[in-house]
Structure 1
């Protein structure tokens, strides 16, 4: 491991790629501190404390807590993930996209371009939903005015800000993939999730100090976390060996072949992608819920696929499997 770290600084090209990636991730974190205009921060904090679970909590985790703070990166990378899912599903049923997927690099570039367009469309729709949600929950944030100047001016500003932020995050991910160390979108998701780790550790230590959790509970928590991580690594590194037997052949007076080898196939070939895909598919309809009244049949239908509902769990498992 130490040799690998030394190679990062010894190889010039690798060093440039790593520093470039760290620089773009730093830009992403700086943008996470820029708030969306027109929102009362104190009222927003009180509102988000009551909505920190369910679909909102999942979205907030993937966005690196940008959604709960309503920064310019509040939508994060989720619109891009949703657009990618839609394009991959359409590739199976739409002959034009299926033909593009088989045309090599040129076809992949075309599909990537369509994914970008889809990301912008989804970002606009989700931004409108968030703006309406904030306007309708103005009186729920402890009596404080959540939106300072409600109306179409606020909605247009919110749509412009959040859509631009999503497009910029998408650009950052693509630049990390092309000019950095690769897997730009995954690194942005990872950066958004891991940013909450220090606060979670300090919160746990504070609960231990105040007696909210005992020392034995903390030890068991650490043991369970280590066991879960070990199980994940074990499954991720696991391979199934498919035996390949080579037939014997005679060349002149000599006999060749007859040996056997194996093809290593990963047990978990999909990785965490099916989980992210299923989560984003089920989380996307929830953005439309604030647009409807509580008594609306559309609102009741969307609530049925909310996190914690039986239908949500069934669709979630089906999405991961298929």
Structure 2
């Protein structure tokens, strides 16, 4: 009964916050004249996905979770450039709390700067502009609090859940426009692309290579500890950054002067180079995600070893050999996944008119799948914990 009540309470909290979030994205801000969105603008649908359509109509939550998303990489960059945040990162839990506080302030500041930019662009008078800036900045602060409520009392990461909400609120509106311009063939291509990326993302997210580990028995008093088999899970770290970085590099006119066909996302040569760059960037990103020497030292410290492999550098060489093979296959699979939307949208002749269309579709689909998987894992973990809690008392 307690398990069901806890699950029901978390689900209701999450749904309630989502309803409040969408209500704030429908409530118009004061002293702001609502403009009709420009349907043919090539960047409109990307901005709608990032803000839930807020920049088109400027509601109270005009920026959606965009300030929360932007605050994390900005704070990470400041941690590298400024000594104080870097020192806080090394202070453990107390430093993490201080960095979280800085991230909250940075989110509000980014919302304030965005509100000022919107007011200047709209050309409002001083009084109306001041009211609109205060309203939009306060809306960014409220959205930040809503994300924290979901993270603490609901399911999943609050920023990811609300981002998923605004994406799902905007995405279906694009299908009627696509049908009007391209017909049923376009719907079929998008359905195949969506299904393919979803299935492959789930398969790659769940796949892992388990290296068996055996622990030596140790006598502590009259009891024997250890001796049970275990394993080291090796996964390929999934990320959308290789695809985004490859698309940006191919689209920068400074790097490719006079080569206009590289900026056409439907060009076959450009698609081939894009595939190679995605594989390369995915491989380079995955290489530095695991310290094999540290894993080997930890195994030696706790008395663990890989059966048939001598401890020490021989174990490190074996784990590195297996891991590099996994990274190679994973990088190739990342290139294939990134290639699916690029080829599909090239067949529809959408990419030349909408920049970064294939990358945006890939990022959105992978994000939706990852959020769904994380939420399902958290629900299952909570159910298991509630089920076995009476036996652990």
* TM-score, with structure 2 as normaliser: 0.56
Cα distance in 2 between the residues matched to 1:276 and 1:106: 36
Contact 2:36/2:57 (8 A) holds in 1? yes
Instruction: Please report how far the alpha carbon of residue 93 of structure 1 lies from its aligned counterpart in structure 2 after TM superposition.
Output: 4.0
Does the C-alpha gap of structure 1 residues 165 and 249 become closer, same or farther in structure 2, counting only changes over 3 Å? closer
Report what 1:49 is aligned to. 39
Worse overlay, 97-106 or 120-129: 97-106
The residue correspondences of 1:136-155 to structure 2 (distance < 5 A) are 150-155=124-129
Contact 2:54/2:63 (8 A) holds in 1? yes
Report what 1:62 is aligned to. 50
RMSD across aligned positions (CA): 3.8
Report what 1:117 is aligned to. 105
Instruction: Please report how far the alpha carbon of residue 38 of structure 1 lies from its aligned counterpart in structure 2 after TM superposition.
Output: 2.6
Cα distance in 1 between the residues matched to 2:101 and 2:244: 20
1:163 to 2:140 alignment: no
Partner secondary structure for residue 264 of structure 1: strand
Cα distance in 2 between the residues matched to 1:187 and 1:57: 20
Partner secondary structure for residue 182 of structure 1: coil
Report what 2:15 is aligned to. 22
Instruction: Please report how far the alpha carbon of residue 77 of structure 1 lies from its aligned counterpart in structure 2 after TM superposition.
Output: 1.6
Report what 2:313 is aligned to. none
1:274-309 Cα offsets, whole Å, 9 max, x none, are: 58998xxxxxxxxxxxxxxxxxxxxxxxxxx99954
Instruction: Please report how far the alpha carbon of residue 221 of structure 1 lies from its aligned counterpart in structure 2 after TM superposition.
Output: 3.0
Contact 1:45/1:69 (8 A) holds in 2? yes
Q: Of 101, 104, 113, which residue of structure 1 is paired with 2:89? A: 101
Instruction: Please report how far the alpha carbon of residue 25 of structure 1 lies from its aligned counterpart in structure 2 after TM superposition.
Output: 0.5
Does the C-alpha gap of structure 1 residues 67 and 195 become closer, same or farther in structure 2, counting only changes over 3 Å? same
Cα distance in 2 between the residues matched to 1:58 and 1:162: 20
Report what 1:133 is aligned to. 121
Report what 2:200 is aligned to. 231
Instruction: Please report how far the alpha carbon of residue 72 of structure 1 lies from its aligned counterpart in structure 2 after TM superposition.
Output: 1.0
Q: Of 236, 243, 248, which residue of structure 2 is paired with 1:267? A: 236
Cα distance in 1 between the residues matched to 2:281 and 2:73: 11
The residue correspondences of 1:1-322 to structure 2 (distance < 5 A) are 11-41=4-34, 44-46=35-37, 48-51=38-41, 53-54=42-43, 57-135=45-123, 150-204=124-178, 207=180, 212-241=181-210, 243-246=211-214, 262-268=231-237, 271=239, 274=241, 309-310=252-253
Contact 1:245/1:258 (8 A) holds in 2? no
1:84-138 Cα offsets, whole Å, 9 max, x none, are: 2122223234333233223333222211111111112211111111111122xxx
Partner secondary structure for residue 262 of structure 1: strand
Contact 1:235/1:268 (8 A) holds in 2? no
Paired positions, count:
257
Worse overlay, 167-176 or 107-116: 107-116
Report what 1:288 is aligned to. none
Contact 2:48/2:56 (8 A) holds in 1? yes
Report what 1:254 is aligned to. none
Contact 2:25/2:64 (8 A) holds in 1? no
Contact 1:131/1:155 (8 A) holds in 2? yes
Contact 2:65/2:159 (8 A) holds in 1? yes
Contact 1:240/1:267 (8 A) holds in 2? no
Instruction: Please report how far the alpha carbon of residue 26 of structure 1 lies from its aligned counterpart in structure 2 after TM superposition.
Output: 0.3
Partner secondary structure for residue 31 of structure 2: coil
Instruction: Please report how far the alpha carbon of residue 261 of structure 1 lies from its aligned counterpart in structure 2 after TM superposition.
Output: 5.4
Does the C-alpha gap of structure 1 residues 160 and 153 become closer, same or farther in structure 2, counting only changes over 3 Å? same
Does the C-alpha gap of structure 1 residues 22 and 307 become closer, same or farther in structure 2, counting only changes over 3 Å? farther
* TM-score, with structure 1 as normaliser: 0.67
Does the C-alpha gap of structure 1 residues 263 and 233 become closer, same or farther in structure 2, counting only changes over 3 Å? same
Cα distance in 2 between the residues matched to 1:311 and 1:81: 28
Partner secondary structure for residue 49 of structure 1: coil
